[in-house]
Structure 1
Amino acid sequence: MREMTPAGPLLRQVNTQTLMQLIIHTGPVTRVELARRSGLSKQTVSEIVRQLQGADWVRETGRVRGGVGRSPVAYEFNPRSGFVIGVDLGGTKLRAAIGDLGGGLLHEIVESTDPLGGRHVIEQVCSVSRRLADLADASWDAVLCVAIGTPGVLNPQTGVMDFAVNIPSFGDLRVQDELTGRLGVPLLLDNDVNMAVLGEHWQGLGQDSSDFVFIAVGTGIGMGVVADDEIRRGCNGAAGEICYLPIGADPLDRANQVKGAFEEAAAGAGLVRRYVEAGGREVGVPEIFAAAADGDAAAQLVLDDEGRLIGQAICAVAGVLDPELVVLGGGIGSRTELLEPVRNWLGRFMLQPPEVHTSALGHRAPLVGSMAVALRTAHQDLFGATALTPLVLPTPPSGTADAADGDVAAPNPGGTR
């Protein structure tokens, strides 16, 4: 069968996307250089650049000097021609950020998730999103996409969030419809761990890996899967719900069937419970890690056992997916103290275990992934990205976001989300 060649409006979209990618990643660049690199005619390049400049997506940066004759004009992408918002909605913390279309992170807000749950959390997300636009001095019309990582899985049949047990009443709402109606912009909703694995793929340890998993251990437990450079969700969107693995607790006990046996045993509440059973005091997760560092035998025993449980889960995952890399994240999983026991137990379980590392992004992984999803969606909607022209996300500038005074809470090292 002869390979299809795009024509008409689709060809125009493909050409526009090709030039935008070149301008974003190689700018400032002249029209002559764009024609040379893209293989398009100079006339086509000039027409598209003129159109993009008129819409304020690209801007002149001056003339390139040093050649013979009239110096050509150079163009670059205008990153502040639009904005995107990413949200990481956890059971205890809400993290949100606004960025420009060049991948730059401008402002970030962190606050406690409204404990009343349900529509109170919906209103909180909307309020935080609009505050971010104000901080960036951006009109709401310039916000092109909002992407949100949440606990649970969006059920495409019902429109509600399944398994969203960490936010009260959240699973009773058609969350995407409610948020879209209130915000009035393109909105994407995905599991927070899926967002985390996308964050690692964009800016973290998974940048050079086409097959890896991200396992989050915190208030809950979940996994995001990248296989052949694509995220995998499964037929019901529940791929990666490893909280239901029959590990650490009786999977037939009804008490363990809501959150799952593995989550009941190894997530934050289970870790605290096992520490108490080992003779420790009823304290929080950070205190258990601190006690282990101070030589508390019960805390050290429990953390070694935590490594065993996580190692068993990785063993099960590796037997099915064969990932080249496992990234550990979440309030518990991202603790570097767990890395050695996890690797030790995994080495006892498997002859050829995958590489295991703690997240390079830490608690920010889901937020970075949400920003990546929003950015990709905005670029696709604006510049007509198609399967014929895979979109490469802009590399974000170095540096950290500015924070609104009083709006940014300190990270919770070793706590649960």
Structure 2
Amino acid sequence: MAMKTYTLFLILLLANVAFANHYHFIVKETSIERLCKSKKILTVNGKFPGPTIYANKGSTLIVHVHNNSKYNITIHWHGVKQPQNPWSDGPEYITQCPIQPGSKFKQKIILSDEEGTIWWHAHNKWARATVHGAIIVYPKPGTSYPFPKPHAEIPIILGEWWKDSVVEVLNEFVGSGGQPKTSDAFMINGQPGDFYPCSKHVNFSASLRSLASKLHPISVPTKVETRLVSTVSVNLLPCPKNDTRACQGPNGTRLSASMNNISFLTPPRYNILEAYYYNRVKGMFGMDFPDFPPYVFNYTDDVLPLELELPKFGTQVKVLKYNTTVELVLQGTNLVTGLDHPMHLHGYNFYVVGWGLGNFDEKSDPKNYNLVDPPRRNNVAVPKNGWIAIRFRADNPGVWTMHCHIERHLTWGMQTVFLVKNGHKPEEHILPPPHHMPPC
């Protein structure tokens, strides 16, 4: 399968140390040999994967991103909430225009309650195939993680590798209207499947428990002010006349994807955050992303009407009042095909209060919600032909996207945007933009 979500695993070593708060990321092409073939790939500081960022909880970091490549680039700090600071979040044409070749951008990374291992990656086109790395957030000096000291610390970064240029793979994929070329290898720490030399003579045991404690309180909303239900679907588009080369989807169609039957169109020359901040919304995007699916049907049935497969296109956002409590049910469908969808929300952590297979039942399923110690995530997999229910409090003003983290699904349009309005106090407002935002 092509372009799956990259995953980071880490066994963390307790430490009471302070780290540098300034980093320089030099984005450039570097010749790398894998699978007995050398090719030029985009890298940060000539490394693949890129450099690891080390930080303490609550730190503020400055990352100077210099684009020395011939391609546009943006960098996203996956799992960092960036309170009041969407300007450095990174998704192309959502919160910023890309850093153009020969340009630079000083990004402020504001850590708040993040702990453990998260990651950074490019957030434009498919550049994250090679532009990515780990962020390891240690406790504040003088504190520790809420588990015993581990035996070792091992970051493991999983990815994919194409023998061909990723740019060529993307262009061929978009032009064909079908599936992308399958990757040639899965990567572990930038290598195609090396084994880690673990000892066979030592047994390790551990127990998993909830982090609902005084140091890690659970604040899942028990009362909900805004309820949303969104389908997540793969769709089909009819073939343009006289262009069968662009219609390599099922039965001569083009593949697409949607949330609530809207296939998201990213603005081509401006970004949503600046349009909102400077009140230039007209003609840029709409504010009427639907609260519920436009059609109610048996979403996971084996046979579904063909007319349901055709999405609408638009740049629609959902507006939320500051500090409102939100429940969002993500419903998988069997349109075209049922698939898992790892959905990522920028700017927030959320609580996964429920999940199930089949269709969500608004009367019976909420009775089984876990409101005591649910998992706290920023990325969650909607199961194939199933549903996930999440809750969060909209207390981070700004423009924050939610999308499937499988690149082909994002390219097809499985994305939306939450526009969280300012509150009444200064600390509830979006921070002023930096003077050096990349121009469009």
Shorter-chain-normalised TM-score: which range? under 0.3
Give 1 or 2 for the bigger CA radius of gyration: 1
Q: TM-score, normalised by structure 1?
A: 0.26
- Select the structure that is richer in helix: 1
- Select the structure that is richer in strand: 2
Q: TM-score, normalised by structure 2?
A: 0.25
